[in-house]
Amino acid sequence: MKNRRGFIQTTLAGTAGLVFSRTSGISAATAQSVDSRVEILLDEPIGTISHNLYGHFTEHLGGTIYDGVWVGAKSKIPNFDGIRKELVEQMRKIKAPVVRYPGGCFADSYDWRDGIGPSDQRPRRTNFWLGAENDKSPASHKYDPNEFGTDEFVHFCRLIGAEPYLAANIRSLPASEFYRWVEYCNSPTGSTRLAEERAKAGSAQPYNVRYWGVGNESWGCGGNFTPQEYAVEFRRYSAWLPRYGQSLSLIASGPNSDDWSWTRGFFEEIVRKGSSQLGGIYGWALHHYAWNLSRGRTNEWEKGKGDAIQFDPVDWYEILREGERVEGLILGHWQVMSEFDREHRVKLVVDEWGPWYRPGSEATPGDILEQTPTLRDAVFSGMTLDIFNRHASKLYMANCAQLINCLNSLYLAHEDRFVVTPVGHVFGMYAGHQGGESRRTIFSAPSVQYDRDGKPATFWGLQGSASLSGKDLLVTVVNPHTTQVREAEITIRGGSASSAMATTLSHSDIHARNTFDNREGVIPQKKESVVRN
Protein backbone atom coordinates (compact mmCIF):
# COMPACT_ATOMS: atom_id res chain seq x y z
CA MET A 1 0.00 0.00 0.00
CA LYS A 2 1.35 3.39 -0.91
CA ASN A 3 2.30 5.60 1.98
CA ARG A 4 -0.02 8.51 1.27
CA ARG A 5 -2.03 10.69 3.58
CA GLY A 6 -5.60 11.84 3.10
CA PHE A 7 -7.65 14.23 5.21
CA ILE A 8 -11.24 14.91 6.14
CA GLN A 9 -12.52 17.61 8.44
CA THR A 10 -15.73 17.02 10.34
CA THR A 11 -17.69 18.23 13.33
CA LEU A 12 -17.75 15.70 16.15
CA ALA A 13 -21.15 16.20 17.63
CA GLY A 14 -21.90 18.35 20.59
CA THR A 15 -23.36 18.11 23.01
CA ALA A 16 -21.75 14.74 23.57
CA GLY A 17 -22.24 12.25 20.85
CA LEU A 18 -20.91 9.90 18.25
CA VAL A 19 -19.93 10.20 14.62
CA PHE A 20 -18.84 7.82 11.96
CA SER A 21 -17.45 8.43 8.51
CA ARG A 22 -17.82 5.67 5.93
CA THR A 23 -15.59 6.13 2.93
CA SER A 24 -13.77 4.45 0.11
CA GLY A 25 -10.79 6.58 0.98
CA ILE A 26 -10.58 10.04 2.53
CA SER A 27 -8.73 13.19 1.57
CA ALA A 28 -8.23 16.78 2.46
CA ALA A 29 -10.51 19.30 4.10
CA THR A 30 -9.18 21.67 6.72
CA ALA A 31 -10.59 24.57 8.68
CA GLN A 32 -9.29 27.27 10.97
CA SER A 33 -11.49 25.94 13.77
CA VAL A 34 -9.94 22.46 13.87
CA ASP A 35 -9.10 21.64 17.50
CA SER A 36 -8.81 17.86 17.31
CA ARG A 37 -7.09 15.30 15.15
CA VAL A 38 -7.70 11.66 14.38
CA GLU A 39 -5.06 9.63 12.57
CA ILE A 40 -5.95 6.29 10.99
CA LEU A 41 -2.94 4.03 10.43
CA LEU A 42 -4.00 1.74 7.61
CA ASP A 43 -0.56 0.12 7.63
CA GLU A 44 -0.94 -1.02 11.27
CA PRO A 45 -3.59 -3.76 11.43
CA ILE A 46 -4.83 -5.01 14.81
CA GLY A 47 -6.95 -7.97 13.80
CA THR A 48 -10.30 -8.97 12.33
CA ILE A 49 -13.29 -7.61 14.24
CA SER A 50 -15.41 -10.66 14.98
CA HIS A 51 -19.05 -10.23 14.02
CA ASN A 52 -19.81 -11.65 17.45
CA LEU A 53 -18.44 -8.58 19.26
CA TYR A 54 -21.83 -7.05 18.41
CA GLY A 55 -23.80 -9.77 20.16
CA HIS A 56 -26.85 -9.63 22.41
CA PHE A 57 -28.27 -11.21 25.54
CA THR A 58 -31.83 -12.26 26.43
CA GLU A 59 -32.90 -13.64 29.80
CA HIS A 60 -36.17 -14.67 31.40
CA LEU A 61 -36.04 -11.51 33.49
CA GLY A 62 -38.75 -8.89 33.82
CA GLY A 63 -40.13 -7.94 30.41
CA THR A 64 -37.22 -9.20 28.32
CA ILE A 65 -38.86 -12.38 27.01
CA TYR A 66 -42.56 -11.99 27.80
CA ASP A 67 -43.79 -8.67 26.35
CA GLY A 68 -40.37 -8.07 24.81
CA VAL A 69 -39.32 -10.85 22.45
CA TRP A 70 -42.45 -12.98 22.86
CA VAL A 71 -46.01 -11.74 22.38
CA GLY A 72 -47.63 -15.10 21.57
CA ALA A 73 -48.86 -16.54 18.30
CA LYS A 74 -52.47 -15.54 19.03
CA SER A 75 -51.57 -11.93 19.81
CA LYS A 76 -53.00 -9.05 17.77
CA ILE A 77 -49.52 -7.53 17.92
CA PRO A 78 -47.78 -8.28 14.58
CA ASN A 79 -45.60 -11.35 15.09
CA PHE A 80 -43.77 -14.23 13.47
CA ASP A 81 -45.08 -17.34 15.21
CA GLY A 82 -45.35 -15.42 18.48
CA ILE A 83 -42.12 -13.43 18.15
CA ARG A 84 -42.54 -9.66 18.00
CA LYS A 85 -42.32 -8.67 14.32
CA GLU A 86 -40.95 -5.17 14.84
CA LEU A 87 -38.11 -6.53 16.97
CA VAL A 88 -37.18 -9.02 14.26
CA GLU A 89 -37.13 -6.29 11.63
CA GLN A 90 -34.92 -4.04 13.74
CA MET A 91 -32.51 -6.86 14.55
CA ARG A 92 -32.12 -7.61 10.87
CA LYS A 93 -31.17 -3.98 10.24
CA ILE A 94 -28.30 -4.06 12.73
CA LYS A 95 -27.08 -7.46 11.49
CA ALA A 96 -27.33 -9.11 14.91
CA PRO A 97 -24.69 -11.89 14.91
CA VAL A 98 -25.31 -13.92 18.08
CA VAL A 99 -27.78 -13.98 20.99
CA ARG A 100 -27.15 -15.48 24.43
CA TYR A 101 -29.99 -17.30 26.25
CA PRO A 102 -31.61 -18.11 28.73
CA GLY A 103 -29.40 -16.21 31.20
CA GLY A 104 -27.84 -14.91 33.27
CA CYS A 105 -28.71 -16.13 36.72
CA PHE A 106 -31.99 -17.51 35.38
CA ALA A 107 -29.98 -20.14 33.49
CA ASP A 108 -28.60 -21.51 36.76
CA SER A 109 -32.04 -22.73 37.82
CA TYR A 110 -33.47 -23.49 34.35
CA ASP A 111 -34.43 -26.96 33.19
CA TRP A 112 -34.35 -26.88 29.40
CA ARG A 113 -36.92 -29.71 29.23
CA ASP A 114 -39.54 -27.36 30.71
CA GLY A 115 -39.34 -25.30 27.52
CA ILE A 116 -39.94 -28.01 24.89
CA GLY A 117 -43.00 -29.94 23.75
CA PRO A 118 -46.56 -28.68 23.21
CA SER A 119 -46.89 -25.21 24.70
CA ASP A 120 -50.07 -26.01 26.63
CA GLN A 121 -48.36 -28.96 28.31
CA ARG A 122 -45.29 -27.12 29.55
CA PRO A 123 -45.04 -26.59 33.31
CA ARG A 124 -45.32 -23.22 35.00
CA ARG A 125 -42.27 -22.61 37.20
CA THR A 126 -41.17 -20.04 39.74
CA ASN A 127 -38.84 -17.58 38.05
CA PHE A 128 -35.37 -17.24 39.59
CA TRP A 129 -35.97 -13.49 39.85
CA LEU A 130 -39.17 -13.84 41.91
CA GLY A 131 -37.49 -12.43 45.01
CA ALA A 132 -36.67 -9.22 43.14
CA GLU A 133 -40.19 -8.77 41.80
CA ASN A 134 -42.76 -6.30 43.11
CA ASP A 135 -46.54 -6.27 43.27
CA LYS A 136 -46.83 -4.50 39.90
CA SER A 137 -45.12 -7.34 38.06
CA PRO A 138 -47.32 -9.45 35.76
CA ALA A 139 -47.70 -13.12 36.63
CA SER A 140 -45.58 -14.26 33.65
CA HIS A 141 -42.59 -12.43 35.19
CA LYS A 142 -43.00 -14.22 38.52
CA TYR A 143 -44.14 -17.65 37.39
CA ASP A 144 -42.68 -18.55 34.02
CA PRO A 145 -45.21 -20.28 31.72
CA ASN A 146 -42.36 -21.67 29.57
CA GLU A 147 -44.16 -20.68 26.38
CA PHE A 148 -40.78 -19.52 25.11
CA GLY A 149 -38.08 -22.18 25.19
CA THR A 150 -35.32 -23.71 23.09
CA ASP A 151 -37.35 -24.11 19.88
CA GLU A 152 -38.76 -20.60 20.03
CA PHE A 153 -35.36 -19.12 20.82
CA VAL A 154 -33.62 -20.88 17.94
CA HIS A 155 -36.48 -19.81 15.65
CA PHE A 156 -35.97 -16.21 16.80
CA CYS A 157 -32.26 -16.48 16.00
CA ARG A 158 -32.99 -17.89 12.55
CA LEU A 159 -35.46 -15.09 11.83
CA ILE A 160 -32.89 -12.40 12.59
CA GLY A 161 -29.91 -14.22 11.06
CA ALA A 162 -28.05 -14.74 14.36
CA GLU A 163 -26.30 -17.71 15.92
CA PRO A 164 -27.79 -19.08 19.17
CA TYR A 165 -25.58 -19.14 22.27
CA LEU A 166 -27.05 -21.36 25.00
CA ALA A 167 -25.97 -21.13 28.65
CA ALA A 168 -26.12 -24.49 30.43
CA ASN A 169 -27.22 -24.96 34.03
CA ILE A 170 -24.37 -26.57 35.99
CA ARG A 171 -25.58 -25.42 39.41
CA SER A 172 -28.77 -27.44 39.69
CA LEU A 173 -28.74 -29.95 36.80
CA PRO A 174 -26.40 -32.92 36.29
CA ALA A 175 -23.94 -33.18 33.41
CA SER A 176 -26.18 -35.75 31.72
CA GLU A 177 -28.82 -33.05 31.18
CA PHE A 178 -26.26 -30.85 29.44
CA TYR A 179 -25.47 -33.78 27.14
CA ARG A 180 -29.16 -34.33 26.46
CA TRP A 181 -29.69 -30.64 25.63
CA VAL A 182 -26.89 -30.84 23.07
CA GLU A 183 -28.53 -34.01 21.76
CA TYR A 184 -31.91 -32.31 21.44
CA CYS A 185 -30.38 -29.42 19.50
CA ASN A 186 -27.80 -31.18 17.34
CA SER A 187 -28.52 -34.89 16.88
CA PRO A 188 -29.21 -35.92 13.25
CA THR A 189 -32.71 -36.24 11.87
CA GLY A 190 -34.55 -39.23 13.33
CA SER A 191 -31.45 -40.53 15.11
CA THR A 192 -32.69 -40.40 18.73
CA ARG A 193 -35.90 -39.95 20.66
CA LEU A 194 -34.90 -36.36 21.37
CA ALA A 195 -34.34 -35.78 17.65
CA GLU A 196 -37.88 -37.06 17.10
CA GLU A 197 -39.18 -34.67 19.77
CA ARG A 198 -37.41 -31.80 18.02
CA ALA A 199 -39.06 -32.85 14.76
CA LYS A 200 -42.49 -32.75 16.41
CA ALA A 201 -41.68 -29.18 17.45
CA GLY A 202 -41.15 -28.29 13.79
CA SER A 203 -37.49 -28.98 13.05
CA ALA A 204 -36.53 -32.42 11.79
CA GLN A 205 -33.16 -30.95 10.84
CA PRO A 206 -30.70 -30.38 13.69
CA TYR A 207 -30.26 -26.85 15.00
CA ASN A 208 -26.46 -27.22 14.95
CA VAL A 209 -25.96 -24.94 17.95
CA ARG A 210 -22.27 -24.12 18.14
CA TYR A 211 -21.91 -21.83 21.16
CA TRP A 212 -22.47 -23.26 24.64
CA GLY A 213 -21.79 -21.60 27.97
CA VAL A 214 -20.69 -24.13 30.58
CA GLY A 215 -22.32 -22.37 33.51
CA ASN A 216 -22.87 -18.71 34.28
CA GLU A 217 -21.28 -16.56 36.99
CA SER A 218 -20.10 -19.71 38.70
CA TRP A 219 -18.42 -17.55 41.35
CA GLY A 220 -21.90 -16.36 42.45
CA CYS A 221 -25.45 -17.30 41.45
CA GLY A 222 -24.06 -20.10 39.29
CA GLY A 223 -22.89 -22.21 42.21
CA ASN A 224 -20.70 -20.16 44.58
CA PHE A 225 -17.72 -22.24 43.47
CA THR A 226 -14.08 -21.47 44.06
CA PRO A 227 -12.19 -21.17 40.75
CA GLN A 228 -10.58 -24.54 41.39
CA GLU A 229 -13.95 -26.17 42.07
CA TYR A 230 -15.39 -24.64 38.93
CA ALA A 231 -12.45 -25.89 36.83
CA VAL A 232 -13.23 -29.43 38.00
CA GLU A 233 -16.91 -28.93 37.13
CA PHE A 234 -16.01 -27.53 33.71
CA ARG A 235 -13.91 -30.60 32.94
CA ARG A 236 -16.71 -32.89 34.11
CA TYR A 237 -19.46 -31.19 32.12
CA SER A 238 -17.39 -30.86 28.96
CA ALA A 239 -15.75 -34.31 28.95
CA TRP A 240 -16.85 -36.50 26.04
CA LEU A 241 -19.66 -34.14 25.13
CA PRO A 242 -21.51 -35.49 22.06
CA ARG A 243 -20.63 -33.52 18.92
CA TYR A 244 -22.80 -35.03 16.17
CA GLY A 245 -20.40 -33.70 13.56
CA GLN A 246 -20.82 -30.12 14.80
CA SER A 247 -17.84 -28.15 16.09
CA LEU A 248 -18.78 -26.98 19.59
CA SER A 249 -17.37 -23.77 21.04
CA LEU A 250 -17.46 -24.09 24.83
CA ILE A 251 -17.33 -20.86 26.81
CA ALA A 252 -16.20 -21.05 30.42
CA SER A 253 -17.62 -18.85 33.17
CA GLY A 254 -14.98 -16.21 33.77
CA PRO A 255 -14.49 -13.46 36.32
CA ASN A 256 -16.57 -10.67 37.73
CA SER A 257 -14.71 -7.52 36.66
CA ASP A 258 -11.22 -7.39 38.22
CA ASP A 259 -11.20 -10.73 40.02
CA TRP A 260 -7.77 -11.77 38.77
CA SER A 261 -7.67 -14.63 41.27
CA TRP A 262 -10.66 -16.28 39.57
CA THR A 263 -8.88 -16.31 36.22
CA ARG A 264 -5.58 -17.48 37.69
CA GLY A 265 -7.16 -20.14 39.90
CA PHE A 266 -9.24 -21.61 37.07
CA PHE A 267 -6.39 -21.89 34.59
CA GLU A 268 -3.97 -23.22 37.21
CA GLU A 269 -6.37 -26.07 37.92
CA ILE A 270 -7.20 -26.71 34.25
CA VAL A 271 -3.56 -27.12 33.16
CA ARG A 272 -2.72 -29.39 36.12
CA LYS A 273 -3.74 -32.23 33.80
CA GLY A 274 -1.67 -30.81 30.96
CA SER A 275 -1.89 -27.83 28.63
CA SER A 276 -3.84 -29.94 26.14
CA GLN A 277 -6.86 -29.30 28.39
CA LEU A 278 -6.92 -25.75 27.05
CA GLY A 279 -8.02 -27.11 23.68
CA GLY A 280 -11.47 -27.79 25.12
CA ILE A 281 -12.06 -24.15 26.05
CA TYR A 282 -13.10 -21.78 23.30
CA GLY A 283 -13.76 -18.64 25.32
CA TRP A 284 -13.31 -17.17 28.81
CA ALA A 285 -16.34 -15.04 29.72
CA LEU A 286 -15.78 -11.78 31.58
CA HIS A 287 -18.68 -9.76 33.04
CA HIS A 288 -18.42 -6.03 33.67
CA TYR A 289 -21.17 -3.64 34.72
CA ALA A 290 -20.65 0.06 35.38
CA TRP A 291 -22.76 0.96 38.40
CA ASN A 292 -20.90 2.88 41.11
CA LEU A 293 -21.72 6.59 40.87
CA SER A 294 -20.93 7.34 44.53
CA ARG A 295 -17.65 9.05 43.55
CA GLY A 296 -15.65 6.87 45.90
CA ARG A 297 -17.95 7.15 48.93
CA THR A 298 -19.14 3.53 48.96
CA ASN A 299 -18.75 0.15 47.30
CA GLU A 300 -22.17 -1.08 48.42
CA TRP A 301 -24.17 -2.39 45.47
CA GLU A 302 -27.48 -0.67 46.24
CA LYS A 303 -26.13 2.56 47.71
CA GLY A 304 -23.58 3.15 44.97
CA LYS A 305 -25.96 3.17 42.01
CA GLY A 306 -27.34 6.33 40.43
CA ASP A 307 -30.46 7.25 38.48
CA ALA A 308 -30.86 6.39 34.81
CA ILE A 309 -32.51 9.64 33.69
CA GLN A 310 -31.91 12.18 36.47
CA PHE A 311 -28.19 12.95 36.66
CA ASP A 312 -25.72 15.81 36.55
CA PRO A 313 -22.62 16.20 34.34
CA VAL A 314 -20.42 14.62 37.01
CA ASP A 315 -22.64 11.51 36.99
CA TRP A 316 -22.32 11.52 33.20
CA TYR A 317 -18.53 11.35 33.32
CA GLU A 318 -18.55 8.99 36.29
CA ILE A 319 -20.47 6.25 34.47
CA LEU A 320 -18.20 6.63 31.43
CA ARG A 321 -15.16 6.36 33.69
CA GLU A 322 -16.60 3.19 35.24
CA GLY A 323 -17.38 1.79 31.81
CA GLU A 324 -13.97 2.37 30.27
CA ARG A 325 -12.46 0.17 32.99
CA VAL A 326 -13.33 -2.73 30.72
CA GLU A 327 -10.24 -1.94 28.65
CA GLY A 328 -7.98 -2.54 31.65
CA LEU A 329 -9.91 -5.70 32.45
CA ILE A 330 -9.35 -7.04 28.95
CA LEU A 331 -5.62 -6.34 29.17
CA GLY A 332 -5.31 -7.65 32.74
CA HIS A 333 -7.15 -10.94 32.26
CA TRP A 334 -5.41 -11.49 28.92
CA GLN A 335 -2.08 -11.17 30.72
CA VAL A 336 -3.09 -13.63 33.45
CA MET A 337 -4.31 -16.09 30.81
CA SER A 338 -0.96 -15.83 29.02
CA GLU A 339 0.76 -17.29 32.10
CA PHE A 340 -0.91 -20.62 31.28
CA ASP A 341 -1.81 -20.24 27.61
CA ARG A 342 1.11 -18.63 25.81
CA GLU A 343 -0.35 -19.35 22.38
CA HIS A 344 -3.65 -17.76 23.46
CA ARG A 345 -5.78 -20.62 22.24
CA VAL A 346 -8.53 -19.35 24.55
CA LYS A 347 -10.11 -16.04 23.52
CA LEU A 348 -11.79 -13.52 25.77
CA VAL A 349 -15.56 -13.12 25.73
CA VAL A 350 -17.44 -10.26 27.43
CA ASP A 351 -20.91 -11.77 27.47
CA GLU A 352 -22.46 -9.27 29.90
CA TRP A 353 -21.65 -5.56 29.78
CA GLY A 354 -23.39 -2.24 30.25
CA PRO A 355 -24.46 0.39 32.78
CA TRP A 356 -26.66 -0.61 35.72
CA TYR A 357 -28.75 2.03 37.51
CA ARG A 358 -31.11 1.92 40.47
CA PRO A 359 -34.83 1.22 39.85
CA GLY A 360 -37.20 4.03 38.94
CA SER A 361 -36.95 4.74 35.21
CA GLU A 362 -38.93 1.76 33.91
CA ALA A 363 -40.93 2.47 30.76
CA THR A 364 -43.34 -0.23 31.95
CA PRO A 365 -44.05 -0.39 35.72
CA GLY A 366 -43.22 -3.84 37.07
CA ASP A 367 -40.46 -4.63 34.59
CA ILE A 368 -37.60 -5.24 37.02
CA LEU A 369 -34.12 -4.13 35.95
CA GLU A 370 -35.66 -2.12 33.14
CA GLN A 371 -34.11 1.31 32.70
CA THR A 372 -34.69 3.98 30.06
CA PRO A 373 -31.47 4.57 28.09
CA THR A 374 -30.47 8.17 27.39
CA LEU A 375 -27.84 9.86 25.26
CA ARG A 376 -25.40 9.07 28.08
CA ASP A 377 -25.90 5.35 27.50
CA ALA A 378 -25.43 5.77 23.76
CA VAL A 379 -22.06 7.42 24.39
CA PHE A 380 -21.22 4.67 26.90
CA SER A 381 -22.10 1.97 24.35
CA GLY A 382 -20.15 3.57 21.52
CA MET A 383 -17.13 3.95 23.80
CA THR A 384 -17.36 0.27 24.78
CA LEU A 385 -17.73 -1.02 21.23
CA ASP A 386 -14.72 1.07 20.19
CA ILE A 387 -12.69 -0.52 22.99
CA PHE A 388 -13.70 -3.96 21.74
CA ASN A 389 -12.71 -3.03 18.18
CA ARG A 390 -9.31 -1.82 19.35
CA HIS A 391 -8.73 -5.20 21.03
CA ALA A 392 -10.05 -7.33 18.18
CA SER A 393 -7.06 -9.67 18.41
CA LYS A 394 -8.00 -10.67 21.97
CA LEU A 395 -11.81 -10.73 21.89
CA TYR A 396 -14.10 -13.09 20.05
CA MET A 397 -17.54 -12.29 21.42
CA ALA A 398 -19.37 -9.67 23.48
CA ASN A 399 -23.04 -9.51 24.48
CA CYS A 400 -24.74 -6.29 25.54
CA ALA A 401 -26.94 -6.70 28.61
CA GLN A 402 -29.72 -6.81 27.63
CA LEU A 403 -31.56 -6.72 24.31
CA ILE A 404 -34.99 -5.39 25.25
CA ASN A 405 -36.76 -4.07 28.37
CA CYS A 406 -33.75 -4.66 30.64
CA LEU A 407 -30.64 -2.67 31.59
CA ASN A 408 -28.80 -1.26 28.54
CA SER A 409 -31.67 -2.03 26.18
CA LEU A 410 -31.53 -1.50 22.45
CA TYR A 411 -35.33 -1.55 22.43
CA LEU A 412 -38.26 -0.93 24.76
CA ALA A 413 -41.63 -2.58 24.21
CA HIS A 414 -44.95 -2.97 25.96
CA GLU A 415 -48.00 -4.56 24.38
CA ASP A 416 -48.28 -2.91 20.93
CA ARG A 417 -45.80 -0.11 21.67
CA PHE A 418 -42.17 -0.27 20.58
CA VAL A 419 -39.25 2.14 20.41
CA VAL A 420 -35.59 2.03 19.41
CA THR A 421 -33.45 3.51 22.19
CA PRO A 422 -30.33 5.63 21.60
CA VAL A 423 -28.32 2.47 22.35
CA GLY A 424 -30.13 0.66 19.53
CA HIS A 425 -29.15 3.44 17.14
CA VAL A 426 -25.51 3.07 18.17
CA PHE A 427 -25.56 -0.60 17.22
CA GLY A 428 -26.97 0.39 13.84
CA MET A 429 -24.25 3.00 13.33
CA TYR A 430 -21.48 0.56 14.32
CA ALA A 431 -22.77 -2.49 12.41
CA GLY A 432 -20.38 -1.88 9.52
CA HIS A 433 -17.40 -2.74 11.74
CA GLN A 434 -18.45 -6.41 11.82
CA GLY A 435 -15.94 -8.53 9.97
CA GLY A 436 -13.72 -5.56 9.17
CA GLU A 437 -9.98 -5.31 9.80
CA SER A 438 -9.33 -3.12 12.83
CA ARG A 439 -6.67 -0.47 12.30
CA ARG A 440 -4.68 1.45 14.89
CA THR A 441 -5.94 4.97 15.57
CA ILE A 442 -4.40 8.00 17.28
CA PHE A 443 -6.66 10.65 18.81
CA SER A 444 -5.55 14.13 19.81
CA ALA A 445 -8.11 16.44 21.41
CA PRO A 446 -8.40 18.80 24.38
CA SER A 447 -9.24 16.90 27.55
CA VAL A 448 -12.57 17.43 29.27
CA GLN A 449 -12.06 19.56 32.40
CA TYR A 450 -14.74 19.47 35.09
CA ASP A 451 -15.33 19.89 38.81
CA ARG A 452 -15.73 16.60 40.72
CA ASP A 453 -17.10 17.48 44.13
CA GLY A 454 -14.85 20.50 44.53
CA LYS A 455 -11.78 18.91 42.99
CA PRO A 456 -10.55 19.33 39.39
CA ALA A 457 -11.00 16.25 37.21
CA THR A 458 -10.24 15.38 33.60
CA PHE A 459 -11.51 12.93 31.02
CA TRP A 460 -10.28 12.18 27.52
CA GLY A 461 -11.51 14.43 24.72
CA LEU A 462 -12.05 11.99 21.83
CA GLN A 463 -11.78 8.23 21.40
CA GLY A 464 -12.89 5.75 18.78
CA SER A 465 -11.85 3.03 16.37
CA ALA A 466 -11.49 2.31 12.67
CA SER A 467 -11.91 -0.72 10.43
CA LEU A 468 -11.30 -1.49 6.79
CA SER A 469 -13.63 -3.71 4.75
CA GLY A 470 -12.36 -3.96 1.19
CA LYS A 471 -12.00 -0.34 0.12
CA ASP A 472 -14.46 1.00 2.70
CA LEU A 473 -13.11 2.64 5.82
CA LEU A 474 -15.41 3.02 8.82
CA VAL A 475 -14.31 5.45 11.53
CA THR A 476 -16.33 5.74 14.75
CA VAL A 477 -15.59 8.54 17.18
CA VAL A 478 -17.03 9.39 20.60
CA ASN A 479 -17.04 12.96 21.91
CA PRO A 480 -17.83 12.68 25.64
CA HIS A 481 -18.07 16.41 26.37
CA THR A 482 -21.46 17.47 27.72
CA THR A 483 -21.40 20.90 26.06
CA GLN A 484 -18.57 21.38 23.56
CA VAL A 485 -18.46 20.60 19.85
CA ARG A 486 -15.22 19.24 18.42
CA GLU A 487 -13.90 20.17 14.96
CA ALA A 488 -11.62 17.32 13.92
CA GLU A 489 -9.27 16.63 11.07
CA ILE A 490 -9.15 12.94 10.19
CA THR A 491 -5.85 11.88 8.64
CA ILE A 492 -5.37 8.57 6.86
CA ARG A 493 -1.88 7.15 6.66
CA GLY A 494 -1.35 4.64 3.89
CA GLY A 495 -4.39 5.46 1.75
CA SER A 496 -6.08 8.01 -0.48
CA ALA A 497 -9.63 9.28 -0.66
CA SER A 498 -12.65 9.80 -2.87
CA SER A 499 -15.81 10.34 -0.81
CA ALA A 500 -17.13 10.47 2.75
CA MET A 501 -20.43 10.31 4.60
CA ALA A 502 -20.86 11.31 8.24
CA THR A 503 -23.57 10.16 10.63
CA THR A 504 -23.97 11.77 14.04
CA LEU A 505 -26.01 10.88 17.09
CA SER A 506 -26.25 13.83 19.43
CA HIS A 507 -28.55 16.21 21.31
CA SER A 508 -28.32 19.49 23.18
CA ASP A 509 -29.82 17.81 26.29
CA ILE A 510 -27.64 15.15 27.90
CA HIS A 511 -30.78 13.54 29.35
CA ALA A 512 -32.42 13.13 25.93
CA ARG A 513 -34.07 9.77 25.32
CA ASN A 514 -36.63 8.01 23.18
CA THR A 515 -39.99 7.04 24.65
CA PHE A 516 -43.20 5.43 23.47
CA ASP A 517 -44.65 8.93 23.04
CA ASN A 518 -41.50 10.49 21.55
CA ARG A 519 -39.84 7.83 19.43
CA GLU A 520 -37.41 10.21 17.70
CA GLY A 521 -35.98 12.20 20.58
CA VAL A 522 -32.46 10.98 19.73
CA ILE A 523 -31.92 9.72 16.19
CA PRO A 524 -28.93 9.56 13.81
CA GLN A 525 -28.42 12.38 11.33
CA LYS A 526 -26.58 11.81 8.06
CA LYS A 527 -24.76 14.27 5.86
CA GLU A 528 -22.22 14.06 3.08
CA SER A 529 -18.79 15.33 4.01
CA VAL A 530 -16.78 17.58 1.73
CA VAL A 531 -13.59 15.94 0.51
CA ARG A 532 -10.72 17.94 -0.94
CA ASN A 533 -7.45 16.73 -2.43
Q: Which residues are catalytic?
A: 217, 352
What are the Cα distances from residue 103, in Å, to 93, 182, 406?
A: 24, 17, 12
Q: Are strands 143-144 and 83-84 parallel, antiparallel or unpaired?
A: unpaired
What are the Cα distances from residue 315, in Å, to 122, 304, 310, 381, 510?
Answer: 45, 12, 9, 16, 11
Name every residue whose Cβ is closer than 8 Å to that of residue 32 and which is 6 or more positions away in sequence.
Answer: none
Burial per residue of 242-272, b for 16 or more beta-carbon CB atoms within 10 angstroms, e otherwise: eebebebbbbbbbbebebeebbbbbbebbbe
The identity of residue 186, as a single letter, is N
CA triplet 107, 113, 117: central angle to 5 degrees?
130
Kindly report the backbone phi and psi dihedral angles of residue 194, in degrees, each rounded to the nearest multiple of 5, phi listed first.
Answer: -70, -35
Helix pair 193-200, 175-186: axis angle to 10 deg = 60
Q: Where are the alpha helices (DSSP H) in 102-247?
A: 139-142, 150-160, 175-186, 193-200, 227-238
- Which H or E run includes 377? helix 375-390
Q: Which residues face 84 on adjacent strands? A: 79
Rg (CA), the chain: 23
Longest pairwise C-alpha distance within the chain: 73
- Residue 516 burial (10 A CB sphere; 0-12, 13-18, 19+): middle
> In 3-state terms, what secondary structure has residue 212?
strand
**CA 408 to centroid of chain Cα atoms:** 9
Q: Write out the E strands in 447-520.
A: 448-452, 455-459, 463-469, 472-479, 486-493, 500-506
| Residues 52/97, Cβ–Cβ less than 8 Å | yes
Closest C-alpha to 17, from 402, 388, 434, 320: 320
Euclidean distance between CA atoms 86 and 74, whole angstroms: 16
- Report d(CA 525, CA 407) in Å as an integer: 25
3-class secondary-structure state, position 327 = helix
